[in-house]
Amino acid sequence: MELSKLIANCNVISIKGDEKTDVSAITSDSRQVKPGSLFVAVEGICTDGHSYIGKAIEEGASVIVYDKPLIDEFFSRVTYIQVENSAIALAMIASQWYGNPSAHLKLVGVTGTNGKTTVATLLYEMFRRQGYASGLLSTVCNYVNGEKFPTTHTTLDPVTLNRFLRMMVDAGCEYAFMEVSSHAIHQKRVYGLKFAGGIFTNLTQDHLDYHKNMQEYRDVKKSFFDDLPSDAFALTNIDDKNGLFMIQNTQAKKYTYSLKNMADFKARIFEKHFEGTDIEINGKPLTVRFVGLFNVYNLLAVYGASILLGLNEEDVLRTLTVVKPVAGRFQTIRSPKGFTAIIDYAHTPDALINVLNAIHDVLEKKGNIITVVGCGGNRDKTKRPIMAREAYRLSNKVIFTSDNPRFEEPQDILNDMLAGLSEDERRDVLTIADRREAIKTACALAKPGDVVLIAGKGHEDYQEIRGVKHHFDDKEEVEKLFFGN
């Protein structure tokens, strides 16, 4: 593609070299540069792409896009484009390169601390079941109409993201649903995408390793809604204290959902059981196969977005009665000994509280809750003592274990968790760093009628230790213990 066309939507400060040059590929990673590539130098968290400009040229890059003064020498065979912001330029160039695919889809972004995967995946299933070709970009998996692709992030980098959206357009998809993480908004990964709608689920503590404080985290999320166009919808959970704040300055059409207040989309709960929940949405009764108050919020968001996108109400309600939880989200496995294991991706204090309360609601004190939980390494450390405290408070027995230690010592993470308990309380808990052993111990302690909650890793099929992902799957571990093999 001709360079001048590629940079048409960028805020260009200066151009040195031939603007008509033909570009053969685009990347922000010098290690992926091929002859004729355009390389965008982006300042990152670990390193600065500007330091790899020399390397990119050595590998054959013919265009360099940058936003900081260059000290390197200029080569006459290379075109240098100085832009206002490289991360934004990367997103705009990626969209152009793939023919602005988001403009040819009805793209809906879901943001919030918890519930993004659940809401985005259920929307994808909803639209597929109504016969619409659709795509999904989520933490668990990406789908282009029925075809499955593994993923690396909750929200992909702009080049990969736009490549997927292009694949969706080429496959005839009309709708696309994606998770929008706060990291992605902050790093401009979704910049310039044309959204047909945005959904806010909730905001509670997470990622305080990355964002300076809760206010910055909240403001980053809000900026996603600030940038929505006027023909899009902004659908928000007004039972969350930041729900209205999120849509305060958006140009998009505002809609609300709630279980407690007057709202455009409203639900009530009648009866909770282990197999599901009897609810009412906008006055219509239905039984869903989901457990937990938080899942009623997720389903309500799905209902609201489906209606706003033009689906028929009866079809939507009928589909809500048949869809099932996403892998690793409140996934229940019955043991032959009469207790239940629940695998759940709760990896924030709020998610853990919600999932434990949901178990209490259906257990009605007729059994004990044994919780196995750990916290991820090289992530928000301040959530560790809180998660430990809540797990202790809401369980009959807790076993602290490892999640993904990444580059930290497992015992250091466990110590941060234990700091959330008093000395007396610490004597009540078991600390077993080996996750396999921890799960085994919990299942050995369980009596008929009990629940073993295994929290934090959900669908993940690995444990990340010192940069290596070792195969590990909570569900597989439980099935081995229950059914052998």
Work out which of 117, 138, 404, 441 binds ligand API, going by CB under 6 A.
Answer: 404
Number of chain positions touching ligand UAG (CB under 6 A): 20
**Contact between 238 and ligand ATP (CB under 6 A)?**
no
Q: Torsions phi, psi of 28, nearest 5?
A: -115, 10
Are the CB atoms for 275 and 289 separated by under 8 Å? Answer: yes
211 binds ligand API (CB under 6 A): no
Pick one of 101, 135, 276, 458: the residue that binds ligand ATP (CB under 6 A): 458
8 Å CB contact between 362 and 274: yes
Question: Would you say 326 or 439 has its CB closer to ligand UAG?
Answer: 326
3-state secondary structure (DSSP) of residue 384: helix
Q: Pull the structure tokens for residue 253.
A: 């059409």
| Choice from 82, 202, 256, 258 touching ligand ATP (CB under 6 A) | 202
End-to-end CA, the chain: 54
Q: Which one of residues 166, 211, 222, 329 is an interface residue with ligand ATP (CB under 6 A)? A: 329
Task: Pick one of 27, 114, 134, 236: the residue that binds ligand ATP (CB under 6 A).
Answer: 114
Closer CB to ligand API, 39 or 294, in the complex: 294
167 and 144 in contact (C-beta within 8 Å)? yes
Angle at 232 between CA 178 and CA 211, to 5 degrees: 50
Q: Which of 116, 221, 379, 457 binds ligand ATP (CB under 6 A)?
A: 116
- Find all residues with CB under 8 Å of 116, minimum gap 6, and list them: 110, 138, 139, 154, 179, 180, 181, 201
Quote the CA–CA distance of 452 and 243 in Å, as a whole number.
Answer: 33
User: For ligand UAG, which residue of 14, 31, 146, 283 counts as binding (CB under 6 A)?
Assistant: 31
Any contact of residue 157 with ligand UAG (CB under 6 A)?
Answer: yes
SS3 402: coil
**Shortest distance, position 101 Cβ to ligand API, whole Å:** 25
Rg (Cα) of the chain, in Å, rounded?
A: 24
Site string for ligand API, 116-155 (x = CB under 6 A): --------------------------------------x-
Interface with ligand ATP (CB under 6 A), residue from 98, 290, 297, 392: 297
Question: Which residues sit opposite 66 in a β-bridge?
Answer: 82
DSSP class of residue 229 equals -
Which one-letter DSSP state was computed for residue 71?
A: -
- Residues constituting the chain: 485
CB of 55 to ligand UAG, least distance (A): 7
Q: What is the bridge-based pairing of β-strands 430-431 and 25-27?
A: unpaired
Residues 301-340 as x/- pattern, contact with ligand API by CB under 6 A = ----------------------------------------
Residue partners of 260: CB distance under 8 A and separation at least 6: 239
Determine phi and psi for 63, rounding to 5 degrees: -135, 135
Among 158, 376, 410, 420, binds ligand API (CB under 6 A): 376
Residues 446-465 that bind ligand API (CB under 6 A): 456-457, 460
Q: For ligand UAG, which is the closer residue by CB, 123 or 429?
A: 123
Q: What residues line the site for ligand UAG (CB under 6 A)?
A: 28-31, 42, 44-47, 49, 52, 153-155, 157, 181-184, 187
Q: What residues line the site for Mg ion (CB under 5 A)?
A: 116-117, 139, 154, 179
Q: What residues line the site for ligand ATP (CB under 6 A)?
A: 114-118, 139, 154, 179, 201-202, 294, 297-298, 329, 344-346, 350-351, 354-355, 458
